[in-house]
Amino acid sequence: MKVYQANEIKNIALVGGAKSGKTTLAEAMLFEGGSIKRRGNIDDKNTVSDYRDIEIDKENSVVSTIMHTVYDGTKINIIDTPGTTDYVGEVVSALNVADTALLVVDAHEGLNVGVEIGWRNTSRLVIPVVFIINQLDHEKANFDETLAQLQNAYGDKVTLAQYPVNQGAEFDTVIDLVYMKQIKYTKGGGDAEITDIPDSEKDKAEELQKALIEAAAEGSEELMEIYFENDTLTIDQLREGIRLGVANRAYFPVFITSAKECIGAGRILEFIAASAPLPKRRYRKTNEGVKMHSNPEDHTALFIFKTEIEPHLGEISYFRVYGGAVTEGMDLINSKTNSKERISQLLVSNGKTREKVEKLYAGDIGAAIKLKSSHSNDTLVDPSNKNVVLEEIIYPDPVYTIAIKADNSSDDEKMGLLLNEMHRADPSFGVNYSRELKQMILTGMGEQHINLMKWYFDKVHNIEFQFFAPKIPYRETITKSASADYRHKKQSGGSGQFGEVHMLIEPYTEGYENPSHLNVRGTDVHELEWGGKLIFNNCVVGGAIDTRFLPAILKGINERMVEGPLTGSYARDINVYIYDGKMHPVDSNEISFKLAGRHAFSEAFRNAGPKIMEPIYDIEVLVPEEMMGNVMTDLQGRRAIIMGMGTEGHYQNIKARVPLAEMNRYSTTLSSLTSGRGTFSMKYAEYLQVPGDIQTALLKKYAEEEDED
């Protein structure tokens, strides 16, 4: 395959809602570019993009696919991303290495949550956007309504480059406002007929082209001066203005297609080749803040943005070259782990078809197979540049949490290895074993996201398992002072055990004062790894307890704080005062005082107004205005406190604080309430006391579980 220079490469990502036709559009673009001789389709399950067994089974994209084609001497790398909100991690990965986003909008469904998510991520990452209104051949296509929705949501920078003459089942004709020509397509592909614009469309076309020229003129001061002087721009000047405007996100052109009928795909390729930004326009920062602009003169630097495991092949690492060039057989360093990697095979991809290439220059996208220890978000550099680490992709916070357990304990190890493998392939999928909850916890972007793992376990690995609602990481604390003493005494022949401890406990608060009747001789402050503090005070006088036994008492208290007296949850924010006790000259030892301290603490804790605390999360819900009522009602049923509301585009933003215990499967509920159009994010805020009735229920449940054990 030809080796392409940095100025001969364009990188695009196809983003948008599910069923908007992104995969079909990718197929049409590959066909128009000559990369494939025959177009596949979703129904026949033979597209280049959706080639994986899971995608064929579900008839939907679930993983982003890397492809490429060539048009007018330009190599165009295409990343087709899933449209369902649960797979937003794939969208974020793709947009981190693309230079332009084609935001595909369904002409009969219009603006939906997939478009919103695509727009939000392109805005956050400052990526140029080209809107593609697709499926104009649908019998219910409504171009004018779809355009109005886009302009209402994203402003008048959304400007037509084309419009349809005859949308609907007979759609085949487009007015191109750049060339001011009418283009009549042959359905299914083939040469288009280009003619002058008919009189019936001239006035409309001239009015719309004037808006296009005004938008393009804002691309530079020079073009603006030409426009003011001549009241128009030449075609070359117009294209230059569009190119500058797109690159600077000052202009978002709208093109139209019927990907299914291969209408308009060639024109999009032409636009990308001529006017989409080059790779050098965008940069990726290093750990030292240096901007790498895909310069072939720099040291070699690759960024792995995607890892995938394929049967019979193993791990495939997809990367973008941000500096220099990479060749087959090249030895590089993983700058995060300092491990060596050899690029034994250098490949470019078209779905499952991969072709060897001898070299890739900065700005290009390629793949390597079976790297030893490099995965998504890793940087590979030449040894002379081994301290350079490129900034990692920042994934959205997970919104769905579930616990998992294998039916057969013999599968535990295999399941753990597979889950970690899935995390490496998709970092937005999280897995960890919680020692606190004693559960394997999975996190993801929604129920469908987690069900991907379920599909692989069921269909590929034959592991039987169960999902459970995750336990809540409650905390236990006290609200008043209490004293207790405990004597541990044991005699069973030979040396015995004896230790007696008297203690006072109080709630810890900032600025607390020690009890006036106790003489504090020493204080140890312990910052607890699960939050809060334990303050351990030595108030023993007269040698009632030897100081060598105090660490054992503290150890006993710590053991009880790890497994709190009320529900077995972590305890926090407690002041402990050891003020008296007794020893035996022979039988006293560390184990005796550890047990005495543990039991005395438990008794005092139960008498100190114990309270259970629950984690509270800040959540933000984005929802269409007409659906706010149902969403608010549902939140209030979850003990939410509404903190505020605002507007974000044409969506309403609800901010609330909700107990984590009430958020189980919320993403599924929200999707049901809003027909998939609502999204939310959540972040830990603080711990607060649970209401009395809930505490009573928790205590009862814990007691029943203890009895069962």
Strands (E), 278-323: 284-285, 291-292, 301-310, 314-323
Domain 6-201+248-279 has CATH 3.40.50.300: yes
Strands (E), 312-436: 314-323, 325-327, 331-334, 339-342, 347-350, 353-356, 359-361, 365-369, 379-381, 400-406, 430-434
Residues 6+ apart with CB under 8 A from 624: 650, 651, 652, 674, 677, 678
The secondary element (H helix, E strand) that includes residue 554 is helix 550-562
Nearest to 443 by CA among 86, 84, 60, 63: 86
Are 514 and 542 in contact by the 8 Å Cβ rule? The answer is no
Whether residue 310 has pLDDT greater than 90: no
Least confident of 31-40, 255-264, 296-305, 308-317: 308-317
Nearest to 375 by CA among 322, 426, 310: 426
Distance CA 12, CA 122 (A): 12
Whether residue 388 has pLDDT greater than 80: yes
Dmax (CA) for the chain in angstroms is: 113
Whether residue 678 has pLDDT greater than 90: no
Fold type of domain 284-385: Elongation Factor Tu (Ef-tu); domain 3 (2.40.30)
Residues 6+ apart with CB under 8 A from 432: 440, 441
Are 639 and 472 in contact by the 8 Å Cβ rule? The answer is no
Q: How confident is the model at residue 493 (pLDDT cuts 50, 70, 90)?
A: low
Q: What is the pLDDT of residue 491?
A: 80
Distance CA 567, CA 603 (A): 14
- Secondary structure letter of residue 670 according to DSSP: H
Q: What is the β-pairing status of strands 574-582 and 359-361?
A: unpaired
- Using one digit for the tens of pLDDT, what is the confidence trace for 60-71? 889 999 999 999
Mean pLDDT of the chain: 93
- Using one digit for the tens of pLDDT, what is the confidence trace for 595-646? 999 999 999 999 999 999 999 999 999 888 889 999 999 999 999 999 999 9
How many whole angstroms from its chain centre is CA 76?
Answer: 26
At the second CATH level, the architecture of 615-694 is: 2-Layer Sandwich (3.30)
Residues 6+ apart with CB under 8 A from 236: none
Give the relative orientation of helices 550-562 and 590-606 as an angle to the nearest 10 degrees: 50
Name which CATH class applies to 400-471: alpha beta
Options 3.20.20.70, 3.40.710.10, 1.10.150.120, 3.30.230.10; CATH for 476-609 is 3.30.230.10
Mean pLDDT of 481-503: 91
- Using one digit for the tens of pLDDT, what is the confidence trace for 252-282? 999 999 999 999 999 999 999 999 999 999 9
Q: How confident is the model at residue 709 (pLDDT cuts 50, 70, 90)?
A: low
Q: What is the β-pairing status of strands 173-176 and 162-164?
A: antiparallel
Domain boundaries, the chain: 6-201+248-279, 284-385, 400-471, 476-609, 615-694
Distance CA 450, CA 692 (A): 34
Q: Which two tokens stand for residue 123?
A: 């805005």
CA distances from 183 to 132, 143, 166, 187, 192 (A): 17, 17, 12, 12, 6
Which pTM does this prediction carry?
0.88
Distance CA 12, CA 74 (A): 13
Q: How confident is the model at residue 368 (pLDDT cuts 50, 70, 90)?
A: very high
Nearest to 97 by CA among 8, 37, 181, 9: 9
Q: What is the pLDDT of residue 188?
A: 83
Note whether 400-471 and 615-694 share their fold. yes
Least confident of 102-111, 409-418, 618-627, 671-680: 671-680
Give the DSSP per-residue string, 471-488: PP--EEE-SS-EEEEEEE
What whole-number percentage of the chain has pLDDT above 70? Answer: 99
- Total number of residues shown for the chain: 709
Mean pLDDT of 588-596: 96
Residues 6+ apart with CB under 8 A from 634: 669, 670, 673
Mean pLDDT of 6-26: 95
